[in-house]
Amino acid sequence: MAVELYNDGNHICMAFTTLVSGEAVQSNQFLIVNNGRQALIDPGGYLTYTPLSVAISKRSSLQSLDLILASHQDPDIIASLDRWLLYTNCNVVCSRLWARFLPHLVPGYQNKNLDERIIPVPDRGQDIPLGNCIIKAVPAHFLHSVGNLQFYDPISKILFSGDMGASDVDDASQPVEDFDSHVQHMQGFHQRYMVSNRACRLWANMVRNMDVEMLVPQHGRPFVGRAMIHRFLDWISTLECGVDRLTQADYQLP
């Protein structure tokens, strides 16, 4: 399903929420279009490449795709990179920690000019031009990857938050309406995949100082409106997760 998150006529943000089915983990893919130029966020792997490229082609030419924005290196994020590089002229934006690993995702004949098509982002993040706008690559270290990025669109005021805020739900196209009942769909994931409460708390402090009206994760439902976003920030700021929960019982011979 394609969901329009924002559209002012010149600037459009789309979410694709149902391209993966069966036993694979549900994932969302996102498209930002500004004055005809396009950036694709976390395009996924082989399961999503064909339906996603078809869905985009129905709206505009794939030759208008300028950027792949990769939050981290997981297969459901960027395993289809070789096809996007082969069939479009896009460049790929990723953390500089993972830039040198991208050649492992493409066949040898594509490696020759790969360096010229990679935009490595430093730890502090950076501005990424797209058409007449600037997309901000935001640091999100250890949430859950060591080199993790999120992408903030100042026009739509959407923070594409990667795995932060992810949930396991049947319908990812609808925003969260009842936060308390939604926690059960998030808690186990965040306790396992986020490295520590300290990292979550520092991230939440950063987001509180940003002008965010929609927080959209790569899995599950978005958080819409400042009140709902702040409910999530308050919750994640106090959650014990990752190394906070480890004991010696987790490090024993099987």
**DSSP string for 34-77:** ETTEEEEE---SHHHHHHHHHHHHTTS-GGGEEEEE-SS--HHH
Looking at domain 2-122+129-246, its CATH superfamily turns out to be Ribonuclease Z/Hydroxyacylglutathione hydrolase-like (3.60.15.10)
Q: Give strand pairing partners of 217.
A: none
Range 51-55 average pLDDT: 93
Indicate the pLDDT class of residue 242, thresholds 50, 70 and 90.
very high
Range 129-149 average pLDDT: 96
| 8 Å CB contact between 178 and 34 | no
Question: For position 105, what pLDDT does the model report?
Answer: 86
> Residue 236 carries which DSSP code?
H
pLDDT at 189 over 90: yes
Choose between 200 and 75: higher pLDDT: 200
For 100, how many CA atoms within 13 A lie in the half-sphere containing its CB?
A: 2
For the chain, the structural domain boundaries read 2-122+129-246
Question: For position 112, what pLDDT does the model report?
Answer: 75
Q: Give strand pairing partners of 137.
A: 126, 151
| 8 Å CB contact between 26 and 219 | yes
**pTM, rounded to two decimals:** 0.95
pLDDT at 136 over 70: yes
**DSSP string for 127-179:** EEEETTEEEEEEE-TTBSSSS-EEEEETTTTEEE-TTTT----S-TTSPP--H
Indicate the pLDDT class of residue 247, thresholds 50, 70 and 90.
very high
| 8 Å CB contact between 177 and 194 | no
Distance from C-alpha of 138 to C-alpha of 111, rounded to nearest angstrom:
27
pLDDT at 59 over 90: no
Q: Dihedral sign for Cα 24, 84, 194, 27, please.
A: negative
pLDDT at 110 over 90: no
Range 210-214 average pLDDT: 98
| 8 Å CB contact between 142 and 202 | no
Surface-to-core class of residue 1, CB atoms within 10 Å of its CB (0-12 exposed, 13-18 middle, 19+ buried): exposed
Range 117-141 average pLDDT: 97
| 8 Å CB contact between 4 and 12 | yes
Distance from C-alpha of 196 to C-alpha of 192, rounded to nearest angstrom:
9
Range 87-116 average pLDDT: 88
pLDDT, the chain, mean: 94
Range 200-229 average pLDDT: 98
**DSSP string for 165-225:** T----S-TTSPP--HHHHGGGTHHHHHHHB--HHHHHHHHHHHHTS--SEEE-SSS--EES
Indicate the pLDDT class of residue 61, thresholds 50, 70 and 90.
confident
Question: For position 155, what pLDDT does the model report?
Answer: 98
Distance from C-alpha of 216 to C-alpha of 134, rounded to nearest angstrom:
18
Range 49-61 average pLDDT: 91
Indicate the pLDDT class of residue 14, thresholds 50, 70 and 90.
very high
Give the rounded percent of residues in the chain with a pLDDT score beyond 90: 84
Question: For position 21, what pLDDT does the model report?
Answer: 66
